[in-house]
Structure 1
Amino acid sequence: MHEHIEHQTVWGWVIPVTIAAIISILYLRAAARALTSRGNKWPKHRSLFFLMGMGMLAVAGLPPMMMWAHHDILGHMAQHLLIGMFAPVFLVRGVPLTLLLKSLSAAKARYVVGILRNDAVGAISHPIAALLLNIGGMYLLYLTPLYALSLSNTFVHHFVHVHFFMAGYLFCWSIAGQEVIGKRPSVPLRAWVLFVGIAAHAFLGKYMYANILPDGTPFSGTAIREAAKAMYYWGDLAELILAAFFFWDIALGSYTVQKQRVLNAMMLLR
Protein backbone atom coordinates (compact mmCIF):
# COMPACT_ATOMS: atom_id res chain seq x y z
CA MET A 1 0.00 0.00 0.00
CA HIS A 2 1.51 3.25 -1.20
CA GLU A 3 5.06 1.90 -1.52
CA HIS A 4 6.62 5.35 -1.88
CA ILE A 5 5.30 6.54 1.45
CA GLU A 6 6.32 3.26 3.06
CA HIS A 7 9.90 3.79 1.88
CA GLN A 8 9.80 7.28 3.37
CA THR A 9 8.62 5.96 6.74
CA VAL A 10 11.53 3.51 6.94
CA TRP A 11 14.20 6.23 6.73
CA GLY A 12 12.21 9.38 7.34
CA TRP A 13 12.41 8.96 11.12
CA VAL A 14 16.14 9.77 11.23
CA ILE A 15 15.74 13.50 10.64
CA PRO A 16 12.96 14.26 13.16
CA VAL A 17 14.46 12.10 15.90
CA THR A 18 17.92 13.61 15.36
CA ILE A 19 16.46 17.12 15.45
CA ALA A 20 14.60 16.30 18.68
CA ALA A 21 17.82 15.01 20.26
CA ILE A 22 19.85 18.05 19.18
CA ILE A 23 17.22 20.52 20.41
CA SER A 24 17.03 18.72 23.75
CA ILE A 25 20.81 18.89 24.18
CA LEU A 26 20.91 22.57 23.26
CA TYR A 27 18.07 23.30 25.67
CA LEU A 28 19.84 21.56 28.56
CA ARG A 29 23.15 23.26 27.78
CA ALA A 30 21.49 26.65 27.69
CA ALA A 31 19.69 25.97 30.96
CA ALA A 32 22.88 24.81 32.64
CA ARG A 33 25.30 27.42 31.31
CA ALA A 34 23.54 30.62 30.31
CA LEU A 35 21.38 30.95 33.40
CA THR A 36 23.50 29.52 36.18
CA SER A 37 26.38 31.73 35.04
CA ARG A 38 24.20 34.72 35.91
CA GLY A 39 23.38 33.42 39.35
CA ASN A 40 19.93 32.17 38.41
CA LYS A 41 18.69 28.63 38.69
CA TRP A 42 16.58 27.23 35.89
CA PRO A 43 13.60 25.39 37.45
CA LYS A 44 14.01 21.65 37.02
CA HIS A 45 10.34 21.13 36.28
CA ARG A 46 10.66 23.29 33.18
CA SER A 47 13.46 21.10 31.85
CA LEU A 48 11.42 18.01 32.71
CA PHE A 49 8.37 19.30 30.84
CA PHE A 50 10.45 20.23 27.80
CA LEU A 51 12.17 16.84 27.67
CA MET A 52 8.82 15.09 28.03
CA GLY A 53 7.52 17.02 25.04
CA MET A 54 10.60 16.31 22.93
CA GLY A 55 10.44 12.66 23.95
CA MET A 56 6.87 12.44 22.69
CA LEU A 57 7.89 13.96 19.37
CA ALA A 58 10.75 11.47 19.11
CA VAL A 59 8.43 8.53 19.83
CA ALA A 60 6.03 9.79 17.16
CA GLY A 61 8.89 9.72 14.66
CA LEU A 62 10.23 6.23 15.41
CA PRO A 63 9.88 3.55 12.68
CA PRO A 64 7.34 1.36 14.53
CA MET A 65 5.07 4.34 15.15
CA MET A 66 5.42 5.64 11.60
CA MET A 67 4.69 2.24 10.06
CA TRP A 68 1.72 1.73 12.39
CA ALA A 69 0.42 5.20 11.50
CA HIS A 70 0.67 4.40 7.80
CA HIS A 71 -1.02 1.00 7.92
CA ASP A 72 -3.65 1.69 10.58
CA ILE A 73 -5.69 4.85 11.11
CA LEU A 74 -5.58 4.18 14.86
CA GLY A 75 -1.80 4.46 14.64
CA HIS A 76 -2.19 7.71 12.73
CA MET A 77 -4.45 9.03 15.47
CA ALA A 78 -1.94 8.07 18.17
CA GLN A 79 0.77 9.87 16.23
CA HIS A 80 -1.48 12.89 15.73
CA LEU A 81 -2.25 13.07 19.45
CA LEU A 82 1.45 12.95 20.34
CA ILE A 83 2.56 15.51 17.75
CA GLY A 84 -0.34 17.93 17.86
CA MET A 85 -1.70 17.74 21.42
CA PHE A 86 0.42 16.11 24.13
CA ALA A 87 3.91 17.22 23.06
CA PRO A 88 2.97 20.90 22.55
CA VAL A 89 1.41 21.15 26.02
CA PHE A 90 4.63 20.10 27.72
CA LEU A 91 6.96 21.94 25.36
CA VAL A 92 5.12 25.19 26.04
CA ARG A 93 5.53 24.65 29.79
CA GLY A 94 9.27 24.32 29.24
CA VAL A 95 9.25 28.02 28.23
CA PRO A 96 11.95 27.57 25.55
CA LEU A 97 11.50 31.13 24.28
CA THR A 98 12.39 32.56 27.69
CA LEU A 99 15.48 30.39 27.80
CA LEU A 100 16.46 31.47 24.30
CA LEU A 101 16.13 35.17 25.12
CA LYS A 102 18.13 34.82 28.34
CA SER A 103 20.84 32.96 26.46
CA LEU A 104 21.24 35.56 23.71
CA SER A 105 23.14 38.81 23.86
CA ALA A 106 21.06 41.90 24.66
CA ALA A 107 21.11 43.10 21.04
CA LYS A 108 20.02 39.74 19.62
CA ALA A 109 17.36 39.32 22.30
CA ARG A 110 15.90 42.73 21.43
CA TYR A 111 15.84 41.74 17.77
CA VAL A 112 13.92 38.53 18.52
CA VAL A 113 11.49 40.37 20.79
CA GLY A 114 10.93 42.92 18.03
CA ILE A 115 9.92 40.14 15.66
CA LEU A 116 7.61 38.59 18.23
CA ARG A 117 5.91 41.94 18.83
CA ASN A 118 5.15 42.33 15.14
CA ASP A 119 1.43 42.86 14.44
CA ALA A 120 1.28 39.81 12.17
CA VAL A 121 2.76 37.57 14.87
CA GLY A 122 0.37 39.03 17.41
CA ALA A 123 -2.61 38.34 15.14
CA ILE A 124 -1.70 34.74 14.38
CA SER A 125 -0.90 33.97 18.03
CA HIS A 126 -4.22 35.36 19.30
CA PRO A 127 -6.21 32.56 20.99
CA ILE A 128 -9.06 32.74 18.46
CA ALA A 129 -6.68 32.58 15.48
CA ALA A 130 -4.76 29.73 17.13
CA LEU A 131 -8.05 27.90 17.71
CA LEU A 132 -9.01 28.19 14.05
CA LEU A 133 -5.61 26.97 12.89
CA ASN A 134 -5.55 24.07 15.33
CA ILE A 135 -9.10 22.71 15.52
CA GLY A 136 -10.01 24.05 12.09
CA GLY A 137 -7.10 22.12 10.63
CA MET A 138 -8.43 18.90 12.15
CA TYR A 139 -11.87 19.43 10.61
CA LEU A 140 -10.27 20.13 7.24
CA LEU A 141 -8.13 16.99 7.41
CA TYR A 142 -10.76 14.51 8.50
CA LEU A 143 -13.90 15.86 6.80
CA THR A 144 -12.36 16.33 3.35
CA PRO A 145 -10.28 14.07 1.03
CA LEU A 146 -7.10 15.61 2.49
CA TYR A 147 -6.36 12.69 4.84
CA ALA A 148 -6.74 10.16 2.01
CA LEU A 149 -4.40 12.29 -0.10
CA SER A 150 -1.80 12.34 2.69
CA LEU A 151 -1.54 8.55 2.47
CA SER A 152 -0.17 8.71 -1.06
CA ASN A 153 1.45 12.15 -1.30
CA THR A 154 4.75 12.60 0.54
CA PHE A 155 4.58 16.40 0.65
CA VAL A 156 1.04 16.44 2.04
CA HIS A 157 1.97 13.69 4.50
CA HIS A 158 4.81 15.72 6.02
CA PHE A 159 2.95 19.03 5.75
CA VAL A 160 0.11 17.63 7.86
CA HIS A 161 2.56 16.66 10.61
CA VAL A 162 4.27 20.05 10.58
CA HIS A 163 0.94 21.87 10.65
CA PHE A 164 -0.39 19.77 13.51
CA PHE A 165 2.67 20.46 15.61
CA MET A 166 2.92 24.19 14.91
CA ALA A 167 -0.83 24.79 15.28
CA GLY A 168 -0.93 22.70 18.46
CA TYR A 169 2.02 24.55 19.96
CA LEU A 170 0.55 27.93 19.03
CA PHE A 171 -2.80 27.01 20.59
CA CYS A 172 -1.25 25.76 23.84
CA TRP A 173 1.00 28.83 24.03
CA SER A 174 -1.90 31.21 23.47
CA ILE A 175 -3.89 29.58 26.28
CA ALA A 176 -1.39 28.52 28.94
CA GLY A 177 1.97 29.85 27.82
CA GLN A 178 3.98 31.58 30.54
CA GLU A 179 5.93 33.68 28.06
CA VAL A 180 4.12 36.98 27.50
CA ILE A 181 5.21 39.13 24.57
CA GLY A 182 3.11 42.27 24.31
CA LYS A 183 -0.44 42.54 25.62
CA ARG A 184 -1.88 39.27 26.91
CA PRO A 185 -5.51 38.41 26.04
CA SER A 186 -7.78 38.38 29.08
CA VAL A 187 -8.33 35.32 31.25
CA PRO A 188 -12.07 35.10 30.38
CA LEU A 189 -11.28 35.18 26.66
CA ARG A 190 -8.63 32.47 26.95
CA ALA A 191 -10.95 30.34 29.10
CA TRP A 192 -13.74 30.73 26.55
CA VAL A 193 -11.45 29.74 23.67
CA LEU A 194 -10.16 26.75 25.66
CA PHE A 195 -13.65 25.39 26.30
CA VAL A 196 -14.74 26.03 22.72
CA GLY A 197 -11.69 24.08 21.58
CA ILE A 198 -12.49 21.18 23.92
CA ALA A 199 -16.11 21.07 22.72
CA ALA A 200 -15.18 21.33 19.03
CA HIS A 201 -12.60 18.57 19.33
CA ALA A 202 -15.04 16.28 21.16
CA PHE A 203 -17.75 16.96 18.57
CA LEU A 204 -15.37 16.10 15.74
CA GLY A 205 -14.54 12.76 17.36
CA LYS A 206 -18.24 11.91 17.75
CA TYR A 207 -19.05 13.05 14.21
CA MET A 208 -16.27 10.91 12.76
CA TYR A 209 -17.49 7.92 14.77
CA ALA A 210 -21.13 8.33 13.74
CA ASN A 211 -20.41 8.93 10.04
CA ILE A 212 -17.35 6.66 9.65
CA LEU A 213 -15.04 9.44 8.50
CA PRO A 214 -12.65 10.20 6.85
CA ASP A 215 -13.81 8.90 3.46
CA GLY A 216 -11.71 7.45 0.69
CA THR A 217 -9.29 5.47 2.86
CA PRO A 218 -8.43 1.76 2.72
CA PHE A 219 -9.37 1.32 6.38
CA SER A 220 -12.44 -0.51 7.63
CA GLY A 221 -15.32 1.19 9.38
CA THR A 222 -14.35 -0.56 12.60
CA ALA A 223 -10.79 0.79 12.41
CA ILE A 224 -12.04 4.31 11.69
CA ARG A 225 -14.39 4.19 14.66
CA GLU A 226 -11.58 3.01 16.94
CA ALA A 227 -9.51 5.98 15.78
CA ALA A 228 -12.42 8.35 16.41
CA LYS A 229 -12.78 6.96 19.93
CA ALA A 230 -9.06 7.49 20.55
CA MET A 231 -9.37 11.08 19.33
CA TYR A 232 -12.32 11.68 21.65
CA TYR A 233 -10.96 10.17 24.86
CA TRP A 234 -7.22 10.81 24.57
CA GLY A 235 -7.80 14.25 23.11
CA ASP A 236 -9.88 15.06 26.18
CA LEU A 237 -6.97 14.04 28.39
CA ALA A 238 -4.53 16.34 26.58
CA GLU A 239 -7.00 19.22 26.84
CA LEU A 240 -7.59 18.55 30.53
CA ILE A 241 -3.83 18.77 31.12
CA LEU A 242 -3.78 22.09 29.25
CA ALA A 243 -6.74 23.32 31.31
CA ALA A 244 -5.02 22.25 34.53
CA PHE A 245 -1.94 24.31 33.66
CA PHE A 246 -4.15 27.26 32.69
CA PHE A 247 -6.12 27.31 35.94
CA TRP A 248 -3.01 26.58 38.01
CA ASP A 249 -1.41 29.74 36.64
CA ILE A 250 -4.54 31.73 37.44
CA ALA A 251 -4.65 30.41 41.01
CA LEU A 252 -0.92 30.97 41.50
CA GLY A 253 -1.20 34.49 40.11
CA SER A 254 -4.07 35.34 42.45
CA TYR A 255 -2.11 33.93 45.38
CA THR A 256 0.95 35.99 44.45
CA VAL A 257 -1.09 39.20 44.16
CA GLN A 258 -2.79 38.56 47.51
CA LYS A 259 0.55 37.81 49.16
CA GLN A 260 1.98 41.09 47.85
CA ARG A 261 -1.03 42.99 49.20
CA VAL A 262 -0.49 41.47 52.66
CA LEU A 263 3.20 42.41 52.56
CA ASN A 264 2.34 45.96 51.51
CA ALA A 265 -0.17 46.26 54.36
CA MET A 266 2.42 45.02 56.86
CA MET A 267 4.89 47.63 55.60
CA LEU A 268 2.32 50.39 56.13
CA LEU A 269 1.75 49.27 59.73
CA ARG A 270 5.42 49.65 60.61
Structure 2
Amino acid sequence: MTVLLPGPPAWSVAPFAHGGDAAGGPAWLPLFPVALLAGGYLLAAVRDPRGWDHRRTAAWLVGCAMLAVAVGPLAQFPDDPRGHVAQHLLLGMLAPLGLVLGAPVTLLLRVAPTPVRRTVGRLLRARPLHLIAHPVTAALLSTGGLALVLLTPLYAAAERQPVLHHAVHLHYLAAGYLFAWSLAGPDPAPRRPGLAVRVGALLGAAAGHAVLAKYLYARAGILPPGLDNPDPAAFRAAAQLMYYGGDLAELLLATALFATWYHRHPHRLRPLAKRFAGSS
Protein backbone atom coordinates (compact mmCIF):
# COMPACT_ATOMS: atom_id res chain seq x y z
CA MET A 1 0.00 0.00 0.00
CA THR A 2 1.31 3.47 -0.79
CA VAL A 3 2.82 5.27 2.18
CA LEU A 4 0.42 7.84 3.56
CA LEU A 5 2.72 10.28 5.26
CA PRO A 6 6.41 11.09 5.62
CA GLY A 7 8.06 10.18 8.84
CA PRO A 8 7.68 7.17 11.10
CA PRO A 9 4.25 5.85 12.05
CA ALA A 10 2.91 6.58 15.50
CA TRP A 11 3.46 3.11 16.97
CA SER A 12 4.26 4.28 20.48
CA VAL A 13 1.62 3.38 23.05
CA ALA A 14 -0.30 6.53 23.86
CA PRO A 15 -2.85 7.21 26.54
CA PHE A 16 -6.14 5.59 25.69
CA ALA A 17 -9.33 7.56 25.56
CA HIS A 18 -12.34 6.80 27.71
CA GLY A 19 -10.70 5.93 31.01
CA GLY A 20 -12.31 3.98 33.76
CA ASP A 21 -13.46 7.07 35.66
CA ALA A 22 -14.97 8.63 32.56
CA ALA A 23 -16.88 5.46 31.81
CA GLY A 24 -18.07 5.09 35.37
CA GLY A 25 -17.44 2.22 37.75
CA PRO A 26 -14.22 0.53 38.87
CA ALA A 27 -11.38 0.35 36.35
CA TRP A 28 -11.24 -3.46 36.64
CA LEU A 29 -14.93 -4.00 35.89
CA PRO A 30 -14.57 -4.30 32.05
CA LEU A 31 -11.98 -7.04 32.60
CA PHE A 32 -14.55 -9.29 34.27
CA PRO A 33 -16.41 -10.35 31.08
CA VAL A 34 -13.06 -10.91 29.35
CA ALA A 35 -12.06 -13.26 32.16
CA LEU A 36 -15.40 -15.06 31.78
CA LEU A 37 -14.78 -15.52 28.05
CA ALA A 38 -11.32 -16.96 28.64
CA GLY A 39 -12.37 -19.17 31.56
CA GLY A 40 -15.50 -20.49 29.87
CA TYR A 41 -13.59 -21.38 26.72
CA LEU A 42 -10.87 -23.20 28.69
CA LEU A 43 -13.49 -25.15 30.62
CA ALA A 44 -15.21 -26.20 27.39
CA ALA A 45 -11.89 -27.16 25.79
CA VAL A 46 -11.04 -29.41 28.74
CA ARG A 47 -14.46 -31.07 28.50
CA ASP A 48 -14.16 -31.86 24.79
CA PRO A 49 -14.19 -35.68 24.68
CA ARG A 50 -12.28 -35.81 21.39
CA GLY A 51 -9.55 -33.41 22.50
CA TRP A 52 -9.56 -29.78 21.44
CA ASP A 53 -6.88 -28.28 19.19
CA HIS A 54 -4.40 -26.33 21.33
CA ARG A 55 -3.81 -23.89 18.47
CA ARG A 56 -7.47 -22.88 18.65
CA THR A 57 -7.15 -22.36 22.38
CA ALA A 58 -4.05 -20.22 21.91
CA ALA A 59 -5.80 -18.06 19.30
CA TRP A 60 -8.78 -17.51 21.61
CA LEU A 61 -6.56 -16.57 24.55
CA VAL A 62 -4.58 -14.13 22.40
CA GLY A 63 -7.86 -12.52 21.38
CA CYS A 64 -8.93 -12.28 25.02
CA ALA A 65 -5.57 -10.76 25.95
CA MET A 66 -6.07 -8.05 23.32
CA LEU A 67 -9.53 -7.36 24.69
CA ALA A 68 -8.05 -7.04 28.17
CA VAL A 69 -5.46 -4.56 26.92
CA ALA A 70 -8.12 -2.50 25.16
CA VAL A 71 -10.61 -2.27 28.04
CA GLY A 72 -8.22 -2.58 30.98
CA PRO A 73 -5.01 -0.77 31.91
CA LEU A 74 -4.56 1.08 28.61
CA ALA A 75 -8.06 2.56 28.87
CA GLN A 76 -7.36 4.58 32.01
CA PHE A 77 -5.92 7.74 30.41
CA PRO A 78 -8.57 10.03 28.88
CA ASP A 79 -8.47 12.79 26.27
CA ASP A 80 -6.08 11.33 23.69
CA PRO A 81 -7.60 10.41 20.30
CA ARG A 82 -4.80 7.92 19.65
CA GLY A 83 -6.34 5.90 22.44
CA HIS A 84 -9.70 5.67 20.69
CA VAL A 85 -8.01 4.56 17.46
CA ALA A 86 -5.86 2.02 19.28
CA GLN A 87 -8.93 0.64 21.01
CA HIS A 88 -10.67 0.40 17.65
CA LEU A 89 -7.73 -1.57 16.22
CA LEU A 90 -7.73 -3.97 19.17
CA LEU A 91 -11.49 -4.31 19.66
CA GLY A 92 -12.57 -4.14 16.05
CA MET A 93 -9.77 -5.81 14.09
CA LEU A 94 -7.08 -7.70 16.01
CA ALA A 95 -8.95 -9.27 18.94
CA PRO A 96 -11.88 -10.48 16.76
CA LEU A 97 -9.48 -12.34 14.48
CA GLY A 98 -8.03 -14.26 17.43
CA LEU A 99 -11.48 -15.01 18.79
CA VAL A 100 -12.77 -16.18 15.41
CA LEU A 101 -9.76 -18.46 14.86
CA GLY A 102 -10.55 -20.02 18.22
CA ALA A 103 -13.68 -21.56 16.59
CA PRO A 104 -15.93 -21.11 19.64
CA VAL A 105 -19.09 -22.26 17.86
CA THR A 106 -17.46 -25.53 16.83
CA LEU A 107 -16.28 -26.07 20.40
CA LEU A 108 -19.75 -25.34 21.73
CA LEU A 109 -21.30 -27.82 19.31
CA ARG A 110 -18.88 -30.50 20.52
CA VAL A 111 -19.48 -30.11 24.27
CA ALA A 112 -23.01 -28.75 24.60
CA PRO A 113 -26.09 -30.94 25.19
CA THR A 114 -28.33 -31.80 22.27
CA PRO A 115 -30.99 -29.08 22.85
CA VAL A 116 -28.28 -26.39 22.81
CA ARG A 117 -26.74 -27.78 19.64
CA ARG A 118 -30.14 -27.74 17.93
CA THR A 119 -30.68 -24.13 18.98
CA VAL A 120 -27.28 -23.10 17.66
CA GLY A 121 -27.99 -24.90 14.40
CA ARG A 122 -31.26 -22.99 13.97
CA LEU A 123 -29.49 -19.71 14.65
CA LEU A 124 -26.81 -20.47 12.07
CA ARG A 125 -29.50 -21.12 9.46
CA ALA A 126 -31.51 -17.99 10.30
CA ARG A 127 -31.88 -15.48 7.47
CA PRO A 128 -31.15 -12.38 9.62
CA LEU A 129 -27.78 -13.87 10.55
CA HIS A 130 -27.01 -14.58 6.89
CA LEU A 131 -27.73 -10.92 6.11
CA ILE A 132 -25.65 -9.28 8.81
CA ALA A 133 -22.83 -11.86 8.52
CA HIS A 134 -22.48 -11.46 4.76
CA PRO A 135 -18.96 -10.13 4.07
CA VAL A 136 -20.23 -6.96 2.40
CA THR A 137 -22.71 -6.20 5.19
CA ALA A 138 -20.12 -6.96 7.86
CA ALA A 139 -17.59 -4.69 6.12
CA LEU A 140 -20.11 -1.85 6.10
CA LEU A 141 -20.87 -2.38 9.77
CA SER A 142 -17.19 -2.42 10.69
CA THR A 143 -15.62 0.30 8.55
CA GLY A 144 -18.84 2.27 8.18
CA GLY A 145 -19.39 2.21 11.94
CA LEU A 146 -15.95 3.70 12.54
CA ALA A 147 -16.62 6.40 9.95
CA LEU A 148 -19.93 7.20 11.64
CA VAL A 149 -18.15 7.68 14.96
CA LEU A 150 -15.31 9.85 13.66
CA LEU A 151 -17.21 11.95 11.12
CA THR A 152 -20.20 12.84 13.31
CA PRO A 153 -20.69 14.22 16.84
CA LEU A 154 -20.98 10.61 18.05
CA TYR A 155 -17.31 10.59 19.10
CA ALA A 156 -17.73 13.67 21.29
CA ALA A 157 -20.99 12.35 22.72
CA ALA A 158 -19.38 9.02 23.61
CA GLU A 159 -16.71 10.87 25.60
CA ARG A 160 -19.41 12.41 27.77
CA GLN A 161 -21.90 9.54 28.11
CA PRO A 162 -20.66 6.26 29.65
CA VAL A 163 -23.47 4.13 28.20
CA LEU A 164 -22.81 5.38 24.68
CA HIS A 165 -19.08 4.93 25.21
CA HIS A 166 -19.55 1.24 26.06
CA ALA A 167 -22.03 0.81 23.21
CA VAL A 168 -19.48 2.13 20.70
CA HIS A 169 -16.86 -0.31 21.95
CA LEU A 170 -19.35 -3.17 21.85
CA HIS A 171 -20.20 -2.28 18.26
CA TYR A 172 -16.52 -2.32 17.31
CA LEU A 173 -16.13 -5.80 18.78
CA ALA A 174 -19.36 -7.27 17.37
CA ALA A 175 -18.87 -5.82 13.88
CA GLY A 176 -15.22 -6.87 13.82
CA TYR A 177 -16.11 -10.39 14.89
CA LEU A 178 -18.81 -10.69 12.23
CA PHE A 179 -16.41 -9.43 9.57
CA ALA A 180 -13.60 -11.80 10.54
CA TRP A 181 -16.05 -14.71 10.84
CA SER A 182 -17.60 -14.02 7.44
CA LEU A 183 -14.17 -13.96 5.78
CA ALA A 184 -11.99 -16.49 7.56
CA GLY A 185 -13.96 -18.16 10.32
CA PRO A 186 -13.35 -21.90 10.73
CA ASP A 187 -16.75 -22.20 12.42
CA PRO A 188 -19.71 -23.42 10.34
CA ALA A 189 -21.36 -20.66 8.32
CA PRO A 190 -24.14 -21.87 6.00
CA ARG A 191 -24.33 -20.08 2.64
CA ARG A 192 -20.95 -18.41 3.07
CA PRO A 193 -20.05 -16.64 -0.21
CA GLY A 194 -17.17 -17.79 -2.38
CA LEU A 195 -13.57 -16.68 -2.15
CA ALA A 196 -13.92 -13.90 -4.74
CA VAL A 197 -16.71 -12.18 -2.79
CA ARG A 198 -14.78 -12.42 0.46
CA VAL A 199 -11.56 -11.07 -1.05
CA GLY A 200 -13.52 -8.22 -2.62
CA ALA A 201 -15.11 -7.35 0.70
CA LEU A 202 -11.71 -7.35 2.39
CA LEU A 203 -10.18 -5.09 -0.27
CA GLY A 204 -13.15 -2.73 -0.07
CA ALA A 205 -12.94 -2.53 3.71
CA ALA A 206 -9.18 -1.94 3.56
CA ALA A 207 -9.62 0.86 1.04
CA GLY A 208 -12.36 2.48 3.10
CA HIS A 209 -10.25 2.27 6.25
CA ALA A 210 -7.27 3.88 4.49
CA VAL A 211 -9.37 6.67 2.96
CA LEU A 212 -10.92 7.41 6.35
CA ALA A 213 -7.46 7.63 7.95
CA LYS A 214 -6.24 10.03 5.25
CA TYR A 215 -9.34 12.18 5.57
CA LEU A 216 -8.99 12.33 9.33
CA TYR A 217 -5.35 13.38 8.93
CA ALA A 218 -6.25 16.10 6.41
CA ARG A 219 -9.08 17.43 8.60
CA ALA A 220 -7.30 17.15 11.95
CA GLY A 221 -8.57 19.81 14.31
CA ILE A 222 -11.97 19.88 12.58
CA LEU A 223 -12.90 16.22 12.87
CA PRO A 224 -14.47 14.69 14.83
CA PRO A 225 -17.03 17.48 15.25
CA GLY A 226 -18.35 18.61 18.62
CA LEU A 227 -15.10 18.48 20.58
CA ASP A 228 -13.92 21.28 22.83
CA ASN A 229 -10.39 22.46 21.97
CA PRO A 230 -9.30 19.52 19.78
CA ASP A 231 -5.56 18.92 19.37
CA PRO A 232 -4.72 18.71 15.63
CA ALA A 233 -1.33 17.07 16.25
CA ALA A 234 -2.93 14.33 18.35
CA PHE A 235 -5.53 13.61 15.67
CA ARG A 236 -2.88 13.47 12.96
CA ALA A 237 -1.00 10.92 15.06
CA ALA A 238 -4.26 9.01 15.54
CA ALA A 239 -4.79 8.99 11.77
CA GLN A 240 -1.30 7.58 11.25
CA LEU A 241 -1.94 4.86 13.80
CA MET A 242 -5.24 4.02 12.10
CA TYR A 243 -3.59 3.81 8.70
CA TYR A 244 -0.56 1.68 9.54
CA GLY A 245 -2.30 -0.39 12.22
CA GLY A 246 -5.13 -1.10 9.81
CA ASP A 247 -2.62 -2.35 7.23
CA LEU A 248 -1.22 -4.83 9.74
CA ALA A 249 -4.65 -6.07 10.83
CA GLU A 250 -5.86 -6.47 7.26
CA LEU A 251 -2.71 -8.38 6.29
CA LEU A 252 -3.30 -10.80 9.16
CA LEU A 253 -6.94 -11.19 8.16
CA ALA A 254 -5.98 -11.86 4.53
CA THR A 255 -3.51 -14.52 5.69
CA ALA A 256 -6.21 -16.17 7.79
CA LEU A 257 -8.68 -15.99 4.89
CA PHE A 258 -6.43 -17.82 2.44
CA ALA A 259 -5.23 -20.30 5.06
CA THR A 260 -8.81 -21.20 5.97
CA TRP A 261 -9.82 -21.49 2.32
CA TYR A 262 -6.87 -23.78 1.56
CA HIS A 263 -7.65 -25.94 4.59
CA ARG A 264 -11.17 -26.49 3.24
CA HIS A 265 -10.24 -26.83 -0.45
CA PRO A 266 -6.72 -28.28 -0.69
CA HIS A 267 -7.65 -30.24 -3.80
CA ARG A 268 -8.01 -27.02 -5.80
CA LEU A 269 -4.35 -26.11 -5.40
CA ARG A 270 -2.79 -29.55 -5.64
CA PRO A 271 -3.04 -29.81 -9.46
CA LEU A 272 -1.48 -26.35 -9.77
CA ALA A 273 1.34 -27.28 -7.40
CA LYS A 274 2.03 -30.49 -9.36
CA ARG A 275 2.09 -28.51 -12.60
CA PHE A 276 4.68 -26.09 -11.24
CA ALA A 277 6.70 -28.96 -9.79
CA GLY A 278 6.69 -30.73 -13.16
CA SER A 279 7.74 -27.63 -15.09
CA SER A 280 10.67 -27.04 -12.78
TM-score by length of 2: 0.84
Matched, 1:109 2:117: yes
Other-structure match for 1:203: 211
Q: Is the 8 A contact 2:20 2:76 kept in 1?
A: yes
Q: Among residues 80, 95, 111, which one is paired with 2:103 in the alignment? A: 95
Q: Among residues 1, 11, 14, which one is paired with 2:28 in the alignment? A: 14
Q: Deviations over 1:207-260 (max 9, x none)?
A: 100111223324310000000100000111011100010112223334256679
Q: Distance in 2 between matches of 1:148 and 1:107?
A: 45
SS in 2 for 1:41: coil
Matched, 1:242 2:253: yes
**Larger displacement relative to structure 2 (73-82 or 246-255):** 246-255
Other-structure match for 2:75: 66
The structure whose residues are more often helix, as a share, is: 1
**Aligned residue-pair number:** 251
Change (3 A) 1:47 1:5: closer
Shift of 1:77: 1.3
> Which 5+ residue runs of structure 1 have no aligned equivalent?
261-270
Q: After superposition, where does 1:152-231 map in structure 2 within 5 Å?
A: 152-212=160-220, 213-217=223-227, 218-231=229-242
Matched, 1:119 2:137: no
Q: Is the 8 A contact 2:86 2:241 kept in 1?
A: yes
Other-structure match for 1:255: 266
Matched, 1:232 2:238: no
Other-structure match for 1:55: 65
Change (3 A) 1:21 1:143: same
Q: Distance in 1 between matches of 2:231 and 2:119?
A: 52
Matched, 1:25 2:39: yes
Shift of 1:178: 1.1
Q: Deviations over 1:157-192 (max 9, x none)?
A: 111011111011111111111112322211100110
Q: Distance in 2 between matches of 1:13 and 1:101?
A: 34
> Which 5+ residue runs of structure 2 have no aligned equivalent?
1-17, 272-280
Q: Among residues 155, 159, 179, which one is paired with 1:151 in the alignment? A: 159
SS in 2 for 1:53: helix
Q: Is the 8 A contact 1:5 1:153 kept in 2?
A: no
Q: Distance in 1 between matches of 2:203 and 2:130?
A: 21
SS in 1 for 2:30: helix
**Larger displacement relative to structure 2 (178-187 or 46-55):** 178-187
Q: Deviations over 1:102-123 (max 9, x none)?
A: 1111222011210221111111
Where in structure 1 do 4 or more consecutive aligned residues deviate above 6 Å? none
Q: Distance in 2 between matches of 1:249 and 1:108?
A: 26
Other-structure match for 1:268: none
Q: Among residues 42, 55, 61, which one is paired with 1:45 in the alignment? A: 55
Q: Distance in 2 between matches of 1:241 and 1:118?
A: 29
Q: Deviations over 1:71-128 (max 9, x none)?
A: 2111121112111111001100001111111111122201121022111111111111
Q: Is the 8 A contact 2:148 2:154 kept in 1?
A: yes
Q: Is the 8 A contact 1:5 1:152 kept in 2?
A: no
Q: Distance in 2 between matches of 1:258 and 1:74?
A: 42
